[in-house]
Amino acid sequence: MSDVFCTDCKRQTEVVFDHSAGDTVCSECGLVLESHSIDETSEWRTFANESGDNDPVRVGGPTNPLLTDGGLSTVIAKPNGASGEFLTSSLGRWQNRGSNPDRGLIVAFKSIATMSDRLGLVATIKDRANEIYKRVEDQKSSRGRNQDALLAACLYIACRQEDKPRTVKEICSVANGASKKDIGRAKEYVVKQLGLEKGQSVEMGTIHAGDFMRRFCSNLGMNNQAVKAAQEAVQKSEEFDIRRSPISIAAAVIYIITQLSDDKKPLKDISVATGVAEGTIRNSYKDLHPYVFKIIPNWYAKEEYLKNLCSP
């Protein structure tokens, strides 16, 4: 029971939930305060053959339009008792002999899902990566290629197309041993195959330094004020002709912002958090230094503090 305001009693009263009808009833006057309500809690019931099995699963997985049978194929399980061993083992052998055209796709989709989970990516990126891999696989030209690098490249392209880019180094960290060089080659191959399929170049999406800023700042444990200043600075930096990669610019901006705060971060920590070499951060800082008065927000650092920044 819980207290809810009853319009008939004109005060808070205890109510009773009738789960079978979906009604919320006042315990004092009997007025139905809410009808046909939906119970959104989990239904922890077991439908297993044996009472000792506490598996709460009552439905199968979702359908997958990229698979031939929609992912709804039947798999014969192992027998529970000795009496069914012969029959089930025979059926199991026949099942293994049967050719499943989607077996390779299922394994690939599981690998993409594992990489996505390790990177904390949303389901839309994972689904886009699955779609890209399926399109490449349908062309029957990927035989003999590094499968781990190919799957990582599909995930990298999906992140770019969904405007949630990840660095190649981040993708490489979850790519089951595939090197950055292998992933780069696989990415060029996938883009080429998708272009041949469509007859036009593939849109990859533009990478901006601001796409990485919040994640990099979070890795360094920076406070909200420093994060906001870094985001504003990196946006203003796009107005100038700074010929550095977006990731290098993001790392250099973070270095400048932290040097202007009380919580200064060592260059080594910034390098680890961003995946950018210390030498690259120094060189990017040199390119940004002439513009610090224009890119650093006035509310974050006064001009005299900017003058005290170490010259490159």
To which H or E segment does residue 17 belong? Answer: strand 11-18
**Total number of residues shown for the chain:** 312
- Between CA 28 and CA 22 the distance in angstroms is 18
- Supply the pTM of this predicted model: 0.69
At 129, which amino acid appears?
A
Please tell me what DSSP assigns to residue 21.
T
Domains of the chain: 3-34 (no CATH), 103-198 (1.10.472.10), 210-308 (1.10.472.10)
Q: Give yes or no for a contact between 147 and 178, defined as CB atoms under 8 angstroms apart.
A: no
Per-residue pLDDT of the chain (312 residues; tens, 9 = 90+): 567 788 888 888 888 888 777 788 888 888 888 887 776 665 555 555 555 555 555 555 666 777 766 666 666 665 555 445 555 566 666 666 656 667 788 889 999 999 999 999 999 999 999 999 998 888 877 777 889 999 999 999 999 989 889 999 899 999 988 899 999 999 999 988 888 777 667 777 788 888 899 899 998 999 899 999 999 999 999 888 888 999 999 999 999 999 888 888 899 999 999 989 999 999 999 999 888 888 988 888 766 666 666 555
Q: Under a CB-based contact definition with an 8 Å cutoff, are residues 194 and 202 in contact?
A: yes
Q: Which residues are paired to 14 by β-bridges?
A: 3
Sheet with 32-34, strands from edge to edge, namely 2-6, 11-18, 23-26, 32-34
Q: How far is CA 304 from CA 268, 285, 301, 309, in A?
A: 27, 19, 8, 9
Encoded amino acid at 193, one letter: Q
